[in-house]
Structure 1
Amino acid sequence: MKYSSIFTKFLFPFYYRVLKKSKVVEKVNDANARLLWDQKKLKEYQWQQLTNLLNFCWNNVPYYKRVWQEAGITSIEQINNLDKFAKLPILTKQDVMAHYNELIPECNKASNIKKSTGGSTGQPFHFELNVASHEARLAIAWRGYREVGAGLGTKTVYLWGASLGKVSFLRRTKESLYHRFFNNYMLNSFEMNQNNIHQYIEKINNIKPDAIVSYVNPLVELAKYIIAHNIKMHKPNTIVTGAEALYEHQRELIEKAFNCHVHNTYGCREFMLISSECEKQKGLHINIDQLVVETINEKRETIANESGDIVITDLTNYGMPLIRYLNGDCATLTNDTCDCGNPLPMMNSVDGRKLDIIKCPNGQLIPGELFPHMFKDFSWIYIFQVVQEQLDEIEIKLVLKEQEQNPDFSAIESIINEYAAESLTIKFNIVDDIPLTPSGKRRVTVCKI
């Protein structure tokens, strides 16, 4: 019996039911079972979940009751279909930061899980969720990966970002045991450069994974090196990409290097997995049993079949409900259905996520994802942007929180120097604001060379 079968039938249930006292196993089984429903039943389920959440927010979340009343809502029963739901006010990151405590229901405050993200817009962001929501997110993510052959217990290499700064021996040991138990092999994409890229290739060939999960750009660099040096690679059964937009030329390059299909996913830290490709690779299936996903135009009208700003509602987060939350990305939703048999509706493309790579004189490339991953841990930074106009230097623009008078940049320099091998001059520039682009976004990394 393969390890993945032993894991899913025995080890995984034992770990979560007995050791963790968690309902994750039940949520995984329920999520998988819902893929056997037709789309009509899924949408009915989504609406019931949404109705429950709206009623809860009206009665327990002061921010929503106040804002909805200001918008003319006198009773939550007025919101009796998705068209009326789409008229509710948008929630922005700025709204969450300005009204943080007002968004947390008193009944869940003590047991919430606290999360943070640097965000692709360069503004460190904090939010919370309840335990049941965290479990539901894990189930949805594992379901999406399972659909393309990277399910629980599958021997998988993760070419992904690791914890930055010093990590205690105990934490490092616990993480290592957890990953090996799940049959995952972690390779730190932030440390990969032209000097050690061959070591990453050797590790993948030695591990012989059935699946690879990776950021897009590190995998593209790996594929270029493999093709340029005519290296024979172990052929995994599947590759799953995330965290960045995947373009068709990149997909073709990766598939040529590894001789297997590449499947794209889309998610963000506030919601985890939002949508993912199936074997057909004709778009991304939206997890409507977990989320309500909309796209809006500049007038904040809901649209389909054209690119718009993504607005998301998490149907399970009762710890800090995010209702019609503008996450800063753009996508194109479609009314098409997929002939793969999966009833989840489709997202045609993700159009608005791309972080510039920072280049070093020694040939090393620093992925843009390093910076939001790093800056989220510095609570005194309000907004940031990394700009490169010459090969041996970067400028870090920072908007500080008011209470920070004498910032210490040494920890930031230390982390960047570790990945740049001391090859970059780092200049810090304290500014009052970092302007948005004409499209209303703020670029985290800007490479002009």
Structure 2
Amino acid sequence: MMQALSKHLFYPLWDLKDRSHRLQEWKQLEEQQWWPQQRVLCEQWKRLQAMLEYASHHSPFYREVFATSGVKPQNVKTEADLQRLPVTTKQDIRNQLDRFISDEYDKSALISAKTGGSTGVSLSLFFDEACQERRNAAQLLADRWSGWDLGIKKAAIWGNPPVPTTLKQKLRHHLLDRVIYLDTMNMNDHSMAEFVERWRAEQPGAVFGHAHSIYLFARYLKKHQITDCRPKGIVATSMMLLNHERTLINEAFGCEVTNRYGCEEVA
């Protein structure tokens, strides 16, 4: 009952309250994933050309790139044409960050983020609200592939879980997020035993979390022969799963694990 209310009532109402288009974007993605390949390719190329045109007019960095390369956006018709443009590097972005940002936006009003720094140095990124909504919609789409759905309660195996303090945060936690947490910063037999008891009481339908930490919890379940933690989906992230970890997780939960590859730069 609560799952259906969350998906069909609380999610739409919360988007309406926030004036967000996240669910609209998600529904479009749900439809577009079934398009024929040729239609997808045509749409990709259409959006790429629009992006090139926009960048040439509103990004100081790309305005200079087009001017010096002799390439005009309207003349980019094929992949070969696109390859005439110089490759933009992370160093370019670090050295000239402000010149990448559109002159139609105030940098201070944008949403900021950083990459994980897997190459040694993190990269600063900026998004407007529309972009952030599309990113969130894409995550909803990908998470549903695992077996989770909007409204299904989640068991999150993550570090430093947020603690709702304000009324708004508590309402969101109860009506939308619907998460129980196992804090990976305090992960031991006692905390995992308590988490199992909470799982039994609240019956989450999906697991989300740090890949290796999910493996550690799955190993605990196997060791203690606990067989009643049965989610519909599992999403592991932050690092690749090793084959033996994947096998044990699948066995412990009776469910195939999905390894999510996230990238701050694009999704």
TM over 0.5: yes
Relative distance call for 1:124 and 1:87 in structure 2 (3 A) is same
Relative distance call for 1:75 and 1:209 in structure 2 (3 A) is same
Residue from 88, 93, 101 that aligns with 1:91: 88
Match of 2:39 in 1: 41
Query: How big is the shift at 1:123?
Result: 2.1
> Could you tell me which amino acid in structure 2 is paired with residue 52 of structure 1?
A
Matched, 1:213 2:213: no
Relative distance call for 1:175 and 1:250 in structure 2 (3 A) is farther
Percent of residue pairs identical: 25
Match of 1:177 in 2: 171
Q: Distance in 1 between matches of 2:150 and 2:164?
A: 27
Q: Distance in 1 between matches of 2:164 and 2:204?
A: 28
Matched, 1:8 2:7: yes
Residue from 90, 93, 104 that aligns with 2:101: 104
Q: How does 1:274-293 map to 2 (within 5 A)?
A: none
Matched, 1:140 2:134: no
Secondary structure of 1:196's partner?
Answer: helix
Query: How big is the shift at 1:208?
Result: 1.7
Match of 2:48 in 1: 50
Relative distance call for 1:92 and 1:175 in structure 2 (3 A) is farther
Match of 2:222 in 1: 227
Q: Distance in 2 between matches of 1:152 and 1:134?
A: 18
Query: How big is the shift at 1:52?
Result: 0.8
Secondary structure of 1:52's partner?
Answer: helix
- The structure richer in helix per residue is 2
Gaps of 5+ in 1: 273-449
Secondary structure of 1:10's partner?
Answer: helix
Moved more, 209-218 or 105-114: 105-114
Relative distance call for 1:62 and 1:29 in structure 2 (3 A) is same
Relative distance call for 1:144 and 1:38 in structure 2 (3 A) is same
Q: Distance in 2 between matches of 1:255 and 1:168?
A: 32
Q: Distance in 2 between matches of 1:53 and 1:211?
A: 37
Secondary structure of 2:261's partner?
Answer: strand
Q: Deviations over 1:310-351 (max 9, x none)?
A: xxxxxxxxxxxxxxxxxxxxxxxxxxxxxxxxxxxxxxxxxx
Match of 2:240 in 1: 245
Aligned residues: 265
Relative distance call for 1:146 and 1:99 in structure 2 (3 A) is same
Query: How big is the shift at 1:168?
Result: 9.3
Q: Distance in 2 between matches of 1:194 and 1:95?
A: 48
> Could you tell me which amino acid in structure 2 is paired with residue 236 of structure 1?
P
Q: Distance in 2 between matches of 1:218 and 1:23?
A: 33
> Could you tell me which amino acid in structure 1 is paired with residue 93 of structure 2?
V
Q: Distance in 1 between matches of 2:161 and 2:81?
A: 43
Relative distance call for 1:119 and 1:29 in structure 2 (3 A) is same
Q: Distance in 2 between matches of 1:81 and 1:32?
A: 28
> Could you tell me which amino acid in structure 2 is paired with residue 63 of structure 1?
F
Q: Deviations over 1:118-137 (max 9, x none)?
A: 43234243210111111111
Match of 1:432 in 2: none
Q: Does the 8 A contact of 2:182 with 2:195 survive in 1?
A: yes
Q: Distance in 2 between matches of 1:86 and 1:168?
A: 49
Secondary structure of 1:102's partner?
Answer: helix
Q: Distance in 1 between matches of 2:168 and 2:160?
A: 14
Match of 2:193 in 1: 198
Gaps of 5+ in 2: none
Secondary structure of 1:267's partner?
Answer: coil
Q: Does the 8 A contact of 1:8 with 1:153 survive in 2?
A: yes
Match of 2:128 in 1: 130
Relative distance call for 1:163 and 1:199 in structure 2 (3 A) is closer
Query: How big is the shift at 1:86?
Result: 4.2
Q: Distance in 2 between matches of 1:194 and 1:69?
A: 62
RMSD: 2.4
TM-score by length of 1: 0.54
Secondary structure of 1:255's partner?
Answer: helix
> Could you tell me which amino acid in structure 1 is paired with residue 213 of structure 2?
P
Q: Does the 8 A contact of 1:179 with 1:185 survive in 2?
A: no
Query: How big is the shift at 1:221?
Result: 0.9
Match of 2:152 in 1: 154
Q: Distance in 1 between matches of 2:86 and 2:204?
A: 46
Q: Distance in 2 between matches of 1:197 and 1:181?
A: 25
Secondary structure of 1:222's partner?
Answer: helix
Query: How big is the shift at 1:246?
Result: 2.0
Q: Distance in 1 between matches of 2:118 and 2:55?
A: 28
